[in-house]
Structure 1
Amino acid sequence: MSLYRGFLTVGGLTAISRVFGFVRDVLLAAVMGTGWVADAFFVAFRFPNLFRALFAEGAFNSAFVPLFTKRLRGEGDVRAREFAEEALSILLVGVTATVILAEIFMPYLVRAIAPGFSEDKQKFELAVLLTRITFPYLVCMSLVALAAGVLNAHQKFRAPAATPILLNLVLIAVTLFAAASGFRDQPEAGIVQAWGVAIAGFAQLLFVAWAARGLGMDLRFRLPRLTPDMRRLVKLAVPGLITGGINQVNIFIGTMIASLQASAVSYLYYADRVMQLPLGMVGIAIGVVLLPTLTRHLADADEPAALASQNRSLEFALLLTLPASVALIVIPDPIIQVLFQRGSFTPEATRQVSLALAAYAAGLTAFVMTKVFLPGFFAREDTATPMRFVAASVAVNVGGSLLMFPYIGHVGIAIATSLSGWTNALLLMITLMRRGHFRFDDALKRRAPRIVAASVAMGGALYWLEPVLDPYFAADRSTMKQAGAMLLLVTSGAAVYAAVILASGVVRLSALRRAMRA
């Protein structure tokens, strides 16, 4: 039950963050739309996020958390704190050096990540300026990741899961300021947004550092030294730099190719933002909670408990992501229309973003499955094997994107990203099974087909109901009527799914009540 409690804690707070994120993106769509300013800002925002995923989420979820957890359980708080301070010093020096070099060579980096911008001098120069403003965000978020790892190892999940809420609140505030100042689809709107990102980074760092201090883990800077512990951390972290941030790597590659098509960067950004709701609620919750849980079980030589944790995590992932994937494939147009189609966001933009969303959604379950299987390697201090699988999946992504982009544009990039996700997830699962570290238990074998059947039934209901409600999505209908139709569509699909799930015994009401009380 503690595993599910952790999932619900992280997933619930991530859901709140995603709701604020939707508010932020609705405002962004109205203020900046999908024009050249939006393209420049989204590249500027994507760039530090890529490095955050690599340095922070990738390296420290894969390397720091297992090593810190073992010291915490085997050697006590004092030794664990010393280890964390040594890691803090190495991380801070490395990331600061990266930021300084990036600021100096930013024009070359922007030309590399968005080659299509070079043909538009105005867009290119704005992207360079905005990326220079946002890039120090990387320093703050890397330190946030380390403090979050310390808290997660202590089974304190609330504060780390709540930090993204601060980012969204700050960006909502600066977007409202841009709108009030009349900066619609103008460079000033992008500059205001970029400064908002930088400010939010410092706010998140202060928040999570305060939470760590409450545990007696107010970490201090030491002179960096390559001790045996730090050598071990670096050895594990280098493959983790790539492995843990695979989703961001794939999206980043897509951004590079999409920069060759006008507005394609923005189309993919908005589609990805919708995808982040289920992906964040489930994938982040599993990734954050499962790794320290699995590490503890393996440190205690409790293989049955480790296997049970992975099976329940996979079951939890399928239960929530399969229906979400089906819904996003069947009804992407009403979702995008209700969320974004206003102000500078046109009906054509809705159509293009909807196509990308459906293509991304085909890989949603795979992206979350990856979060289930990666801890099986990381907890055993194996970051090299997943890195090889990442290389294979990136090859699928690049090859697929280049093959399909000339024919179907940005939609081909989204399809290739989904294919890449399935490649990575299946390679991870098959390897764990061959090594004897994972197998489907009887409960999962019984419930998984029923979850698939319930998702198909829900998809059928949505496919039948959407044409019935289509008149309420007409352009002359008010936003409230469109939102009401959207709410009816979603709740009807959810009701069908819940009815089949409960009737088939996948979830029992008594167990659900116990989980909610917990």
Structure 2
Amino acid sequence: MSLLKNVGTIGGLTMVSRVAGMVREMIFSRVLGANEVTDAWFQALIIPNVFRRLFAEGAFSAAFVPMFSKRLHNSAGGADGLEEARSFSNDVISVFVPALIVLTAIMQIAMPGVIWLLSDKPIDDATFDYSVDFAQIMFPYILLVSVVTLLTGMLNSVSRFGPGASFPIIFNLVLIGTLLAISALGMGEADIIAMGYIVAWAIPVAGVLQLGWLVYWAHKEGFRPRWIQRPRMTPEVRRLGIIALPAAIGGGAYQINTLLQVYFLNQLEGSAVSWMNYADRLNQLPLGIIGIALSTAILPTLSKFIGAKDTAGAARVQSNAIELGMLLTLPAAVALSICAVPFITIIFGGGRFDAEDAAMTGGVLAVLVAGLPAYVLVKVLVPSFYARSDTRTPVYAAVAALVVFVGFNIAFLQRFGVEGVAAASAIGAWLNCLILYLVLRLRGYYQMDWPLIGRLARQLVAAVAMGTALFYTRELLTPYYNASIPEQLLALIALVACAIIVYFGVAFALGAVSKQRLATFMKKREPEAP
């Protein structure tokens, strides 16, 4: 299957999920707004998400997918390969699931201390009790979604990308339904804490439904995981742990960054956690659609080329991923920066989310998206290390980014406030990206050629032209941002249409993109025999 087709499948479903997530946040902002309760709620949700990214999406997937795929295709996809893959996955499950259960139990007990460390608030503070309750209600989601991620890796190994890319949609639909039910009940300001509890309980419910969805597809593909079994620490499971541990440490740097971000935000006045969350929702939209889709799609392909010792093929896949990623990410970053406040006002404004919240969130978004191209490039570069079973190098890059993030906030937190936290994240992302690329180049694994650099430069020129057009269009449409919903929708469509027409018009005119290049992305490439 071609890179563009794989990315299209993953990216298309991810786009549906992100749009559903956007609708969820739109309703959330209007129903609950930005306040101490929403700060506590978002903080509570971050905790299981940190562990999910650390143990499931990051280290575990990076180690499990190549090992599982190797066994599955050991006999050219025959019965022997399927049985070997089944046995390996069951051995992993026998250790993975009990470990998650133990982790969940420990965190439930330790949660008051965790919240105290993150919020730096005394335990007699009015918000402390429900902050702890929210986190304890949500944390079991890590157990459910980690198993979902394991099943996703199995399905991705047989190029069944749809179920894994679509399960977040279930999460968003459950929360949307819950928020709409709260709105229909007409719960007022005095009930806002109760609303927080109701939406918190929707998290584990969504996890159960997501697990059911992936189990169904796993069975359909012939996988029959055994969930209740005696733990078996086989040599291959130990090897999985050895490979995954450095990636977990590297992922730990990313996730420590996330937790430290919450800590720094809690030191600021106002609803800084909520403002950052709403801004990051728009930032994550292109990152999820483009960066995660590319990362997921190229890892199996890179593994095949590198396994066949086809260096040129691996470099071609890497270059295509960078070019395609930047073609879509650069305009997204520029548009979100130029139109940050209008986008936030149109999408999240109304109800309990007022003009001050929109202005603060827009300011955060304008700074945060400066790091968006770097985040996508990191997603694209890291698979080159994982495909070579090198999970250590990304650790060093992530730790360096973490040090810069912490140092910047220690020095400038009170001076720059919440926008400073966003700037520190962007600076750290670019440093991470630079380190990864330089290591690939120094080791002779990959180097961007001049034709690629030229096309990237032309993409940047097209993005600048688009940004200039958006600047003037934004000013013309100002009266419509706080108008009726149809007028807001028309303003949003006008801004998006302006961005698309100008960017791709200039990009095609300059040769930053062409029909021939798009055809190249769609070609299916197989590694040459060593």
Under a length normalisation based on structure 2, what TM-score does the superposition of the two structures give?
0.94
- 298, 311, 336: which one aligns with 2:319: 311
1:332 CA drift (Å): 0.3
1:86 CA drift (Å): 1.3
Post-superposition CA distance 1:156-192 (Å, at most 9, x none): 1111000000000000001111222233451111111
The question of whether the paired residues in 2 share the 8 Å contact of 1:17 and 1:164 is answered with yes
1:217 paired to 2:223 = yes
Match of 2:484?
A: 478
Judged with a 3 Å threshold, the aligned counterparts in structure 2 of structure 1 residues 517 and 24 are, in CA distance, closer, same or farther, namely farther
1:70 CA drift (Å): 1.9
Post-superposition CA distance 1:377-396 (Å, at most 9, x none): 11111111211221111111
Judged with a 3 Å threshold, the aligned counterparts in structure 2 of structure 1 residues 205 and 16 are, in CA distance, closer, same or farther, namely same
Could you tell me how far apart the structure 2 residues matched to 1:348 and 1:166 are? 32
Judged with a 3 Å threshold, the aligned counterparts in structure 2 of structure 1 residues 514 and 67 are, in CA distance, closer, same or farther, namely closer
1:300 paired to 2:308 = yes
| Unaligned ranges ≥5, structure 1 | none
Match of 2:12?
A: 12
Question: Once structures 1 and 2 are overlaid, which stretch shifts more, 228-237 or 161-170?
Answer: 228-237
Could you tell me how far apart the structure 2 residues matched to 1:382 and 1:37 are? 42
| Unaligned ranges ≥5, structure 2 | 76-80, 525-530
Could you tell me how far apart the structure 2 residues matched to 1:89 and 1:455 are? 50
Match of 2:494?
A: 488
The question of whether the paired residues in 2 share the 8 Å contact of 1:295 and 1:380 is answered with yes
1:249 CA drift (Å): 4.1
Could you tell me how far apart the structure 1 residues matched to 2:340 and 2:517 are? 33
Match of 2:527?
A: none
1:4 CA drift (Å): 1.1
Judged with a 3 Å threshold, the aligned counterparts in structure 2 of structure 1 residues 207 and 516 are, in CA distance, closer, same or farther, namely same
Post-superposition CA distance 1:125-174 (Å, at most 9, x none): 11100111100000011101111111111111111000000000000001
Could you tell me how far apart the structure 2 residues matched to 1:189 and 1:251 are? 25
1:313 CA drift (Å): 0.6
1:285 paired to 2:290 = no
Post-superposition CA distance 1:299-324 (Å, at most 9, x none): 22222211111111111110011111
SS in structure 1 opposite 2:71?
helix
1:70 paired to 2:70 = yes
User: What one-letter code is carried by the residue in structure 1 that aligns with 2:394?
Assistant: P
Could you tell me how far apart the structure 2 residues matched to 1:514 and 1:434 are? 27
Could you tell me how far apart the structure 1 residues matched to 2:123 and 2:419 are? 22
1:273 paired to 2:281 = yes
The question of whether the paired residues in 2 share the 8 Å contact of 1:315 and 1:448 is answered with yes
- Equivalent residue runs for 1:324-335 within 5 Å: 324-335=332-343
Could you tell me how far apart the structure 2 residues matched to 1:58 and 1:352 are? 32
RMSD of aligned alpha carbons: 1.8
Could you tell me how far apart the structure 2 residues matched to 1:242 and 1:162 are? 28
Could you tell me how far apart the structure 2 residues matched to 1:409 and 1:250 are? 17
- Equivalent residue runs for 1:305-454 within 5 Å: 305-454=313-462
1:232 paired to 2:227 = no
1:282 CA drift (Å): 0.5
1:513 CA drift (Å): 7.8
User: What one-letter code is carried by the residue in structure 1 that aligns with 2:487?
Assistant: K
Could you tell me how far apart the structure 1 residues matched to 2:457 and 2:361 are? 31
User: What one-letter code is carried by the residue in structure 1 that aligns with 2:157?
Assistant: A
The question of whether the paired residues in 2 share the 8 Å contact of 1:247 and 1:367 is answered with no
- 175, 178, 182: which one aligns with 2:179: 175
- 195, 198, 205: which one aligns with 1:199: 205
User: What one-letter code is carried by the residue in structure 1 that aligns with 2:222?
Assistant: G
User: What one-letter code is carried by the residue in structure 1 that aligns with 2:62?
Assistant: S
Post-superposition CA distance 1:470-500 (Å, at most 9, x none): 2222x4x212212211210121111000101
- Equivalent residue runs for 1:14-33 within 5 Å: 14-33=14-33
Could you tell me how far apart the structure 1 residues matched to 2:127 and 2:181 are? 22
- 76, 79, 91: which one aligns with 2:96: 91
Could you tell me how far apart the structure 1 residues matched to 2:456 and 2:148 are? 36
The question of whether the paired residues in 2 share the 8 Å contact of 1:62 and 1:244 is answered with no
Aligned length: 515
Could you tell me how far apart the structure 2 residues matched to 1:174 and 1:508 are? 45
Could you tell me how far apart the structure 2 residues matched to 1:119 and 1:351 are? 32
Could you tell me how far apart the structure 2 residues matched to 1:377 and 1:513 are? 27
Match of 2:158?
A: 154
User: What one-letter code is carried by the residue in structure 2 that aligns with 1:153?
Assistant: S
Could you tell me how far apart the structure 2 residues matched to 1:467 and 1:224 are? 63
User: What one-letter code is carried by the residue in structure 2 that aligns with 1:79?
Assistant: E
The question of whether the paired residues in 1 share the 8 Å contact of 2:33 and 2:353 is answered with yes
User: What one-letter code is carried by the residue in structure 2 that aligns with 1:103?
Assistant: Q
> What percent identity do the matched residue pairs reach?
38
Question: Once structures 1 and 2 are overlaid, which stretch shifts more, 216-225 or 507-516?
Answer: 507-516
Match of 1:138?
A: 142
The question of whether the paired residues in 1 share the 8 Å contact of 2:72 and 2:84 is answered with yes
1:60 paired to 2:65 = no
Could you tell me how far apart the structure 1 residues matched to 2:256 and 2:284 are? 15
1:466 paired to 2:474 = yes
Judged with a 3 Å threshold, the aligned counterparts in structure 2 of structure 1 residues 341 and 412 are, in CA distance, closer, same or farther, namely same
The question of whether the paired residues in 1 share the 8 Å contact of 2:9 and 2:161 is answered with yes
The question of whether the paired residues in 2 share the 8 Å contact of 1:160 and 1:208 is answered with yes
Could you tell me how far apart the structure 2 residues matched to 1:377 and 1:514 are? 24
1:231 CA drift (Å): 1.2
